[in-house]
């Protein structure tokens, strides 16, 4: 992976960058302000891969990522699960009692909601955790801190006023690795991610989901999202165990294709193994 260009949303020191460097040592991270630009960079060949967050154990799914996966021709080729440890940062010499507000990404603020409430700190949402740290270092604001990583504190010369401030200790973010090409079938356990819509009739969702039970396929995630083209209609994002070429998943998806109004396979990829 030496020299591979991998796009992520954010600034140097972001958790997405940490996750990709952990998984792809020696890669060249390319930071972009928005998720749209990450997808565009991969689609246009500016980056070889992209790493985008899809869900957090505390704050839930990152809906924009799922929406972009639906619209894009890119494929999910891997997943990363990264432990997120938030720190409260401020310019050197700042004391905790001086803070009145804290800047960070909305997901990070949500993951530290209890901590912020206890200290009566006003959350200020910005586009990136590391970006919040960088802007605070470049233009300090009286009474304002940032929530970001230890690495961001080191990179931008900020002081850590509190560590591990997330509300729940098991705070993990799951990332998808996206590519222009589909992943090749490898060894070991795989997962497949899909999106589908059901026909508007009684029992439509039950009928669709029974395809997996009939084929003996285990589901690991199911989430609904509103359809943009049909008000008050929904799409269902689903993760299942196995590769699309395995007999069970292949049969389940064939059955689902007959029963669903719409089906798109986002990708089959190696399931994340604890420790890497």
**Residues 6 or more apart in contact with residue 223 via CB below 8 angstroms:** 61, 66, 236, 237, 238
For helices 204-214 and 247-259, give the axis angle rounded to 10 degrees.
160
Q: Which residues of 210-221 are buried (b: 16+ CB within 10 A; e: fewer)?
A: ebbeebebeeee
SS3 at position 131: helix
User: Does the active-site annotation cover 175?
Assistant: yes
Residues comprising the chain, all counted? 276
**Residues 6 or more apart in contact with residue 213 via CB below 8 angstroms:** none
Residue in 32, 35, 115, 175 annotated catalytic: 175
Distance CA 30, CA 37 (A): 11
Alpha helices in 2-46 (DSSP H): 15-23, 35-43
User: Does the active-site annotation cover 173?
Assistant: yes
Which pair of structure tokens corresponds to residue 187? Answer: 């060894």
State the number of CA atoms in the 13 A half-sphere of 50 facing the CB: 32
Which pair of structure tokens corresponds to residue 214? Answer: 């009939």
Residue in 129, 173, 192, 236 annotated catalytic: 173
**Residues 6 or more apart in contact with residue 102 via CB below 8 angstroms:** 88, 109, 116, 121, 122, 123, 124, 144, 145, 146, 147
Instruction: Please list the active-site residues.
Output: 173, 175
């Amino acid at each position: 992976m030496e020299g591979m260009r991998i796009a992520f949303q954010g600034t140097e020191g972001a958790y997405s960058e940490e996750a990709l460097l952990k998984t792809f040592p020696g890669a060249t991270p390319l930071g972009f302000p928005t998720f749209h630009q990450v997808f565009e960079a991969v689609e246009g060949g500016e980056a070889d891969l992209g790493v985008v967050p899809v869900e957090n154990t505390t704050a839930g799914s990152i809906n924009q990522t799922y929406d972009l996966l639906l619209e894009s021709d890119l494929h999910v080729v891997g997943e990363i699960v990264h432990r997120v440890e938030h720190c409260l940062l401020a310019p050197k010499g700042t004391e905790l009692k001086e803070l009145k507000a804290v800047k960070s990404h909305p997901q990070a603020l949500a993951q530290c909601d209890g901590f912020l409430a206890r200290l009566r700190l006003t959350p200020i949402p910005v586009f990136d955790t590391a970006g919040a740290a960088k802007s605070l270092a470049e233009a300090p604001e009286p009474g304002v801190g940032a929530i970001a990583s230890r690495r961001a504190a080191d990179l931008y010369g900020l002081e850590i006023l509190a560590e591990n401030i997330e509300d729940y200790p098991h705070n993990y973010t799951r990332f998808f690795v996206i590519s222009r090409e589909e992943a090749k079938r490898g060894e070991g356990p795989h997962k497949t991610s899909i999106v589908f819509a059901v026909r508007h009739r009684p029992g439509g969702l039950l009928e669709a989901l029974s395809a997996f039970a009939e084929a003996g396929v285990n589901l690991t995630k199911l989430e609904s999202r509103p359809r943009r083209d049909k008000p008050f209609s929904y799409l269902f994002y689903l993760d299942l165990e196995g590769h699309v070429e395995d007999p069970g998943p292949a049969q389940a998806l064939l059955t689902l294709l007959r029963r669903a109004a719409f089906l798109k396979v986002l990708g089959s990829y190696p399931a994340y193994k604890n420790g890497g």
